[in-house]
């Protein structure tokens, strides 16, 4: 059981490390997450390396092209992650690596995401029934 909710569901850890311009890899992460949660899994996204930029407190969450009729702004990765968390409430947890974001000079948006420390990474690994690595992790 994942610890996120009381429903017995397989727990999946997705460790993603990608540069912010790698939108294809981010799309793979988002689509994989949607498919796994829709199939009944509980998913934890561990955002590592430059992918933590999607969790930055300085990044906006505008997702207007996908979530409203206003087509004037492109979606942000952070906005899409926030929308996924709202859609899959209780089944999706997004954890941003504190060390990686700190090395890159920005802080994690604690309103939307959990801060994870490398010292506790093994807890996420032990909790997961399956682990997928996407990117360079």
pLDDT category of residue 6 using cuts at 50, 70 and 90: very low
**Residue 51, pLDDT score:** 74
Average pLDDT over residues 43-67: 69
Higher pLDDT, 61 or 132: 132
Contact of 17 with 49, CB cutoff 8 Å: yes
Average pLDDT over residues 17-22: 68
CATH number of the domain that residue 99 is part of:
3.40.1260.10
The average confidence (pLDDT) of the chain is 78
**Residue 111, pLDDT score:** 82
The DSSP secondary-structure symbol of 125 reads: H
In degrees to the nearest 10, what's the CA dihedral of 112, 32, 131, 98? -30
Whether 5 maps to a domain, the answer reads no
Whether 2 maps to a domain, the answer reads no
**Residue 2, pLDDT score:** 42
Whether 1 maps to a domain, the answer reads no
Whether 54 maps to a domain, the answer reads yes
Instruction: Using the predicted structure, report yes or no on whether residue 110 has a pLDDT greater than 50.
Output: yes
Whether 98 maps to a domain, the answer reads yes
Angstrom distances, CA of residue 69 to CA of 27, 64, 65, 73, 84: 21, 7, 7, 11, 19
Instruction: Using the predicted structure, report yes or no on whether residue 93 has a pLDDT greater than 50.
Output: yes
Distance CA 83, CA 81 (A): 5
Q: What is the pLDDT of residues 118-127, one digit of tens each?
A: 889 899 999 9
Closest CA to 47 of 18, 4, 23, 76: 18
Whether 111 maps to a domain, the answer reads yes
Q: Which residue range forms the structural domain that includes residue 51?
A: 11-135
Average pLDDT over residues 87-112: 85
Count of structural domains, the chain? 1
pLDDT category of residue 100 using cuts at 50, 70 and 90: confident
Whether 113 maps to a domain, the answer reads yes
Average pLDDT over residues 9-33: 80
């Amino acid at each position: 059981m994942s610890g996120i909710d009381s429903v017995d569901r397989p727990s999946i850890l997705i460790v993603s490390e990608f540069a912010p311009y790698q939108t294809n890899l981010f799309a793979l992460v988002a689509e994989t997450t949607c498919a796994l949660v829709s199939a009944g899994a509980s998913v934890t996204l561990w955002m590592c390396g430059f992918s933590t930029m999607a969790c930055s407190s300085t990044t906006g969450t505008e997702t207007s092209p996908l979530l409203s009729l206003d087509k004037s702004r492109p979606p942000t990765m952070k906005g899409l992650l926030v929308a996924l968390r709202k859609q899959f409430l209780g089944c999706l947890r997004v954890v941003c690596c504190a060390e990686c974001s700190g090395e890159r000079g920005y802080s994690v948006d604690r309103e939307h995401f959990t801060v994870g420390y490398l010292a506790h990474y093994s807890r996420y690994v032990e909790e997961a029934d399956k682990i997928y690595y996407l990117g360079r992790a």
